[in-house]
Amino acid sequence: MAFARNMYDGKTTTEILREQTYINRYMLDVPGPGNNLPFIDDPFIRIQKWRGNLMTNIVSVEGDLLGLTRNLNKDSIKDNNYIDHAIKTKSVNYPVVNPLTDQPRATHPAWADRETEPSNWNILSKNQHSNAFMKFDNNIDTRLNEIEMYQKNRT
């Protein structure tokens, strides 16, 4: 016999809560960068999340876009007029700052440096061959060296 009271099932409760909080989910899931960040006036930075189209009454605006402010009917022009049922809202203004860094593709394009020849004819301040020679004795047979040192110390 099947259990008929599925409202107390954990997965069912989770699914019902997910469906009830679907409105505004894209703004509730991810933590934001702050509450009053300046708008960076840079065309290379894509405006995302709550910076793109944030209005003062975002939950009601989303409900209006989903059609929750109008009654369901069959093509009644008077009831479906969106101007009469429009939500009173306005856009949020942020302080504008200049970009933090310059874009190298915009300030120094590739074609400006493509024709230039690299000049490696600078006079070096240090002789580069000085590190080629070792300043200590090397490649010495240590066995013969130890025999000679032993014979010197013995006498």
Number of domains in the chain: 1
Give the max Cα distance, the chain. 124
* pLDDT reading at 1 higher than 60: no
At 55, is the secondary structure helix, strand, or coil? strand
Structural domain includes residue 11: yes
Residue 140 is encoded by which pair of tokens? Answer: 């010495």
Q: Judge whether 77 lies within some domain.
A: yes
Does 93 reside within a domain? yes
Domain membership of residue 79 as a residue range:
6-154
Query: Is the residue at 40 inside a domain?
Result: yes
Rg over alpha carbons for the chain, rounded to the nearest Å, is: 38
**In a domain? residue 88:** yes
> Does 1 reside within a domain?
no
Answer whether residue 59 shows pLDDT above 60. Answer: yes
Question: What is the tens place of the pLDDT at every residue in 89-146?
Answer: 887 777 777 776 677 777 777 777 777 777 777 777 888 888 888 888 888 888 988 9
What is the torsional sign of CA 46, 94, 59, 89?
A: negative
Q: Work out the pLDDT band at 68, boundaries 50, 70, 90.
A: confident
Specify which of 16-20, 39-43, 97-101, 102-106 reaches the highest per-range mean pLDDT.
Answer: 16-20
Could you give the CA distance from residue 19 to residue 11 in angstroms, rounded to a whole number? 12
Question: What is the pLDDT, as a whole number, of residue 82?
Answer: 78
- pLDDT, mean over the chain: 77
Residue 24 within any structural domain of the chain: yes
Tell me if 17 is assigned to some domain.
yes
